[in-house]
């Protein structure tokens, strides 16, 4: 194990002592009194401070021994350390993980040219699983094509075990249902969705069976014309008792483009009707409101597009009450399009995907449903994941 120790500190000099600290070249080998950090200079008064740094290479230790590292302060001239900060950097684990092998990246990288790829099709949960007693908030996943004016989702298969189970496609606020299926069917499209993001999920009753819920095999999308950087933002946090007017205005750099939408890199407001953000077009007509009046205390997201609308100006009008002010919003870019809804089919492109009815259970313990991958003849192995989707910061895979 290679360890480099860096020590920084405050060094006190007695009053009226005629020595001045100067830095010398880093010594090699063991730090001793012969290569200390010292020098001669003009008289200093009171307490003088300076940075003191030394390094020592090639220190070896194990998990069963203690290694002492020498540290010298310039006692020859009366300097004394009163506060020292230490850190350890460049630690490299050189244990042998296999008999005769070495845990060095340089030695493993040569294996790429000789490795054999073995194909697996492991899903967790298995690719025929869905769970009972689910709702959209626990089962949904995001469909997203960043630069899309509109999307249309194709289900290769929908298989339901009960008339009480439902596959749904909704907007990102879960307030608009774009598509709903309660029967088994195949080869079915949603209608065109004027958005680039949507939730796909399901609801199930207590008798949900282990069968395929859905398979999405491709998505049709219409590209936007331009994506333009911008900055429109509220105070962080926004003020209490704010009236909706005036709002913050985002103006298009290309007014001739008929359709426009904006991107939130931050949207953080109180909800349930207490605080809300309203969007107005260039005709001063309200076309969308960010609010949740059904039990969610707060709206919080860092990646959300507004709906498309026919405008070249968007006004963001925030209303707040006297309590619970959050960070408000930041608009960091917007998109423009000339494509009318009647032209979606003619201008559509196809993206092939493999998205299945697939979610893991809540409160899943690490000890449940462990999967072992084995290749008896292999000396080294690494795993390629084609799909990983967890709640950020809370769920994880070991």
Tokens of 232: 């429109």
CA distance 331 to 264: 5
Residue where a domain terminates, one of 58, 92, 126: 92
pLDDT tens per residue, range 131-167 = 677 777 777 888 889 899 999 999 998 888 777 788 8
Is the same domain home to 143 and 169? yes
Is the same domain home to 319 and 298? yes
368 located within any domain = no
Is the same domain home to 259 and 215? no
Is the same domain home to 141 and 216? yes
Is the same domain home to 232 and 330? yes
395 located within any domain = no
In tens digits, what is the pLDDT along the chain, a chain of 398 residues?
A: 333 334 333 333 333 333 333 333 343 444 444 444 444 444 444 444 555 455 555 556 555 556 555 544 555 544 544 445 555 555 555 544 444 444 445 555 556 666 666 656 555 555 545 667 777 777 788 888 989 999 999 999 888 877 778 889 998 877 889 999 888 899 999 999 999 999 998 888 766 554 567 889 999 999 999 999 999 999 999 999 999 888 999 999 999 999 999 999 999 998 878 899 999 999 999 999 988 654 456 677 778 899 999 999 999 999 999 988 999 999 999 999 999 999 999 999 999 988 876 556 666 677 766 777 777 777 777 777 766 766 666 777 77
Domain count of the chain? 3
Tokens of 369: 């449903």
Is the same domain home to 259 and 325? yes
The CATH number of the domain holding residue 164 is: 2.60.120.290
Q: Which helix (H) or strand (E) holds 288?
A: strand 286-290
131 located within any domain = no
Is the same domain home to 243 and 281? yes
Q: Taking the CA of residue 284 as centre, how many other CA atoms within 13 Å lie in the half-sphere pointing to its CB?
A: 3
pLDDT of residue 116: 64
The model's pTM: 0.58
122 located within any domain = no
Beta bridge partners of 263: 305, 333
Is the same domain home to 212 and 172? yes
DSSP 209: -
Only one residue has tokens 């949507």, namely: 198
- What domain range includes position 38? 1-92
Tokens of 279: 């969007």
169 located within any domain = yes
Tokens of 354: 């493999």
Is the same domain home to 326 and 245? yes
Tokens of 344: 């979606």
370 located within any domain = no
pLDDT of residue 66: 61
CA distance 289 to 269: 12
DSSP 364: -
**H helices of the chain, where?**
105-109, 136-139, 344-347
Q: The dihedral of CA 237, 241, 243, 246: what is its sign?
A: negative
Is the same domain home to 86 and 147? no
117 located within any domain = no
Helix (H, G, I), strand (E, B) or coil at 33: helix
pLDDT of residue 25: 38
Is the same domain home to 217 and 265? no
Is the same domain home to 249 and 190? no
């Amino acid at each position: 194990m290679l360890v480099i120790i860096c020590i920084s500190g405050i060094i006190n000099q007695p009053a009226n002592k005629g020595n001045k600290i100067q830095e010398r070249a880093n010594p090699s080998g063991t730090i001793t009194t012969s290569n200390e950090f010292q020098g001669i200079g003009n008289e200093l008064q009171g307490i003088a401070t300076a940075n003191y740094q030394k390094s020592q290479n090639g220190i070896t230790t194990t998990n069963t021994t203690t290694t002492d590292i020498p540290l010298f302060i310039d006692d020859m001239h009366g300097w004394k350390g009163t506060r020292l900060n230490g850190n350890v950097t460049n630690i490299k684990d050189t244990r042998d993980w296999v008999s005769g092998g070495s845990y060095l990246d340089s030695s493993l990288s040569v294996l790429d040219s000789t490795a054999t790829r073995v194909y697996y099709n492991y899903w967790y949960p298995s690719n025929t699983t869905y769970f009972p007693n689910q709702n959209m908030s626990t089962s949904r996943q995001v469909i997203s094509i960043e630069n899309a004016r509109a999307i249309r989702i194709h289900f290769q298969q929908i298989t339901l075990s009960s008339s009480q189970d439902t596959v749904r496609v909704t907007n990102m606020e879960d307030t608009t249902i774009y598509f709903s299926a309660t029967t088994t069917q195949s080869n079915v499209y949603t209608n065109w969705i004027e958005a680039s993001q949507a939730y796909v999920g399901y609801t199930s009753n207590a008798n949900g069976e282990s069968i395929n819920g859905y398979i999405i095999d491709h998505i049709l999308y219409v590209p936007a014309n331009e994506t333009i950087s911008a900055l429109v933002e509220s105070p962080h946090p926004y003020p209490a008792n704010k009236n909706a007017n005036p709002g913050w205005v985002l103006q298009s750099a290309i007014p001739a483009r008929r359709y426009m939408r904006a991107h939130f890199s931050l949207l953080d407001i109180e909800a349930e009707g207490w605080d809300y953000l309203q969007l107005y077009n260039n005709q001063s007509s309200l076309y969308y409101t960010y609010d949740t009046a059904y039990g969610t205390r707060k709206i919080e997201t860092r990646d959300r597009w507004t709906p498309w609308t026919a405008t070249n100006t968007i006004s963001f009008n925030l209303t707040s009450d006297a309590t619970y002010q959050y960070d408000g919003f930041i608009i960091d870019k917007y998109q423009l399009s000339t494509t009318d809804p009647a032209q979606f089919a003619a201008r559509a492109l196809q993206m092939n995907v493999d998205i299945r009815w697939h979610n893991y259970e809540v409160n899943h313990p690490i000890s449940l449903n462990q999967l072992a991958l084995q290749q008896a003849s292999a000396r080294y192995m690494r795993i390629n994941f084609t799909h990983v989707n967890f709640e950020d910061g809370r769920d994880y895979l070991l």
